[in-house]
Amino acid sequence: MEMKAKLIIVGGIMILLGFLVVIGMGDRGAVDLYDLRQERDRLQRGNTELEEKNQERYRTVERLRNDMDFVEDIARTELGMTKEDEVVVLKKKE
């Protein structure tokens, strides 16, 4: 093979390697695409968690509106309330 042909082949290979580096590492390259996909997946998981929390809170609001036993249970456990005719017996700590 002639020297000129060898230089053309080596030059072509160098150009191709340069393109590969730019495609892989450059702005909007393969590495950025991978990072963006990872970020998208993380955000989607976060959205799913928020949707589940919203559904749970929606169910709680619906129960507060419609389930008087639920409201009474919360009033007793979280607020320490009693009914009008109930007697509270406190236990002395020993």
| 13-72 tens-digit pLDDT | 888 888 877 776 767 777 888 889 999 999 999 999 999 999 999 999 999 999 999 999
Residue at 75: amino acid letter: A
Q: How many CA atoms lie within 13 A of 5 on its CB side?
A: 2
Characterize 71-86 residue by residue with b for buried, 16 or more Cβ atoms within 10 angstroms of its Cβ, and e for exposed. eeeeeeeeeeeeeeee
- Please tell me the total number of residues recorded for the chain in this structure: 94
Q: Which helix (H) or strand (E) holds 3?
A: helix 3-25
Q: What is the pTM of this model?
A: 0.56
